[in-house]
Amino acid sequence: MNLDLVVLNVAAYGSLAAGLMQTRRQRSSGEAEISGAFPLLARSLRKALPELPAGFTWRQGISAAKGLELKLRWDEIDKAVAEYEAYRYGGRPAPEPSQPEVMRLVEALKRRHQ
Amino acid sequence: MTPDGLREGVLKEVGKVVVDRGREAELLLEALLARGHVLLEGVPGVSKTLLAKSFARCVDLGFRRVQFTPDMLPLDIVGGFIFNMKDRSFEFRKGPAFTNILLADEINRAPPKVQSALLESMQEGQVTVEGHTEPLPSPHMVIATQNPIEFQGVYPLPEGQLDRFMLKVVFAYPTNKTEAAIIGRNVLIDDDAIAVQNVVSSVEIAEAIRDVHSVKVSEEMLDYLARLGSATRNDGRVSLGVSPRAMVQLARCAQARAYLSRRDYLIPDDIQELSVEVLSHRIRLRQSIEITEESADAPTIIREIVDGVEPPR
């Protein structure tokens, strides 16, 4: 009887701990990805737009990139930047790790720089 | 009332009377919400006083206007003890400083002792006369106007007094289009037909002030502010950089800007967009720079310093 209870407890707490660890792993990998995509964007902006000052902000950088008339979905990029700002400066949860439109902007800036 | 409603309401009402001064009106609102004082500088006739009066009218707060003159005394501002013949005792009579919004018109026409009488009221929110201390109503905001110091008959405000102003807003001459609109409004429209409505209650202002105070400033943003302050002190063109008090004022004003932009956290743009108005009047340039480089005025140098300091990304 007691042994059954012990086994049941181990199984219940074990699955709970495993679930928690998986959530933490997913969260930290999402954060790592997101915090990897935006520094990449910052570097691309700096290289493709050398007239940007060292103190440029995300909004200034995106606004300058819009001036290049690249064919991208800017509303999605604006939304992604706003979510990233909320995460970065406001302590909100990390945005979606995959940011296809932001990565398309990075690629477009890279091509322009080359 | 939402931050949007507050902002739009004030801008709409002020815009009924003052042409094309939306940014200046917004700066006044940000200073009020951040519990700061504002110095409006410009040549006579560019709507400084009109803007201050219209702004005060659209918020439901106490308002007094004092025209500063060279023969003023401190008690004309803060009040003083007057002998009451009936009771045969001295009683404190409050001066015009005892209000929510005090318009100190042409502040630099008054002598320094009158200007300094405002120091304690602006910094501490109270007035002390002969050991008697009286708290001022809350919020308490001084909107001062001044003519440029090159004008005759003015007493320049000392650095200590200037430092009490959260923002200094310089009024440039209007563009031709704006000037035509100003002339048209004054010539063609009956003054009585334009009435600024009270659009924000004192309770709503108090709530907004509380909300502004709770806007989040992250550790990295604090570090960014400190690096900006330090950069003004280490710039070779500047003989006197900004004080930590200036950076506190910049952070508070930026919190108000974030609130009015419907955010509960600060971003670097909030700081950068306000840095010229908050920091320019607090730095002193080296004389050699002022003499040799015509374009090197304080706002330009502040802009260049801000451009050189990398924000957290």
**Does residue B163 share a domain with residue B56?**
yes
Q: Do B267 and A57 touch (CB under 8 A)?
A: yes
Say which residue, B291 or B25, is predicted with more confidence.
B25
Predicted complex: ipTM over 0.85: no
CA distance B216 to B36: 19
Instruction: Kindly state whether residue B125 falls inside one of the protein's structural domains.
Output: yes
Compute φ and ψ for B105, nearest 5 degrees.
Answer: -80, 130
Domain boundary among B123, B146, B173: B173
**Does residue B244 share a domain with residue B138?**
no
Q: Does A90 touch chain B (CB under 8 A)?
A: yes
**Does residue B116 share a domain with residue B234?**
no
Nearest CB among B216, B218, B268 relative to A57 is that of B268
* C-alpha angle B90-B93-B94 in degrees, rounded to nearest 5: 150
Q: What is the pLDDT along chain A (114 residues), one digit of tens a residue?
A: 566 777 777 776 776 666 555 555 544 444 445 557 888 999 999 999 999 999 999 999 999 999 998 999 999 999 999 999 999 999 999 888 778 899 999 999 998 877
% chain B with pLDDT above 70: 95
pLDDT single digits (tens) B35-46: 999 999 998 888
Range of the domain at B266: 214-308
Domain boundary among B109, B140, B173: B173
- B28, pLDDT greater than 90: yes
Q: Do B313 and A90 touch (CB under 8 A)?
A: no
Q: Do A89 and B306 touch (CB under 8 A)?
A: no
Q: Do A89 and B264 touch (CB under 8 A)?
A: no
Nearest CB among A54, A57, A89 relative to B272 is that of A57
- B4, pLDDT greater than 60: yes
Instruction: Kindly state whether residue B220 falls inside one of the protein's structural domains.
Output: yes
Residue with tokens 């110095």: B39
- Write down the pLDDT at residue B158: 84
Compute φ and ψ for B216, nearest 5 degrees.
Answer: -70, 135
Instruction: Kindly state whether residue B181 falls inside one of the protein's structural domains.
Output: no
**Does residue B169 share a domain with residue B32?**
yes
Its pTM stands at: 0.87
Residue with tokens 């507050």: B6
Number of domains in chain B: 2
CA distance B191 to B201: 25
Q: Is B91 exposed, middle or buried (0-12, 13-18, 19+ CB in 10 A)?
A: exposed
| B266 vs A contacts (CB less than 8 Å) | 89
Going by pLDDT thresholds of 50, 70 and 90, the confidence category of residue B295 is low
- Write down the pLDDT at residue B170: 93
Instruction: Kindly state whether residue B188 falls inside one of the protein's structural domains.
Output: no
| B307 vs A contacts (CB less than 8 Å) | 53-55
Instruction: Kindly state whether residue B246 falls inside one of the protein's structural domains.
Output: yes
Going by pLDDT thresholds of 50, 70 and 90, the confidence category of residue B10 is very high
Phi-psi region of B88 (alpha: psi -120 to 50; beta: other; left: phi over 0): left
Residue at A62: amino acid letter: I
DSSP string, B53-119: HHHHHHBTS-EEEEE--TT--THHHHEEEEEETTTTEEEEEE-TTSSSEEEEETGGGS-HHHHHHHH
pLDDT single digits (tens) B198-241: 999 999 999 999 999 999 999 999 999 999 999 999 999 999 99
- B131, pLDDT greater than 80: yes
CA distance B118 to B142: 9
Give the CATH number, domain containing residue B235. 1.10.8.80
Cβ distance B146 to B39 under 8 Å? yes
**Does residue B146 share a domain with residue B67?**
yes
Residue A86: both structure tokens together: 């909320």
Instruction: Kindly state whether residue B183 falls inside one of the protein's structural domains.
Output: no
Residue B268: closest C-alpha in chain A: A57
Q: Does B223 touch chain A (CB under 8 A)?
A: no
User: How close is the nearest chain A Cα to the Cα of B215, in Å?
Assistant: 9
Instruction: Kindly state whether residue B198 falls inside one of the protein's structural domains.
Output: no
Instruction: Kindly state whether residue B86 falls inside one of the protein's structural domains.
Output: yes
Residue at B189: amino acid letter: I
**Does residue B29 share a domain with residue B167?**
yes
**Does residue B221 share a domain with residue B92?**
no
- Write down the pLDDT at residue B154: 80
Averaged pLDDT score across all residues of chain B:
91
- Write down the pLDDT at residue A28: 46
- B101, pLDDT greater than 50: yes
* B contact residues 144-163, partner A, Cβ 8 Å cutoff: none
Q: Does B25 touch chain A (CB under 8 A)?
A: no
Cβ distance B143 to B64 under 8 Å? no
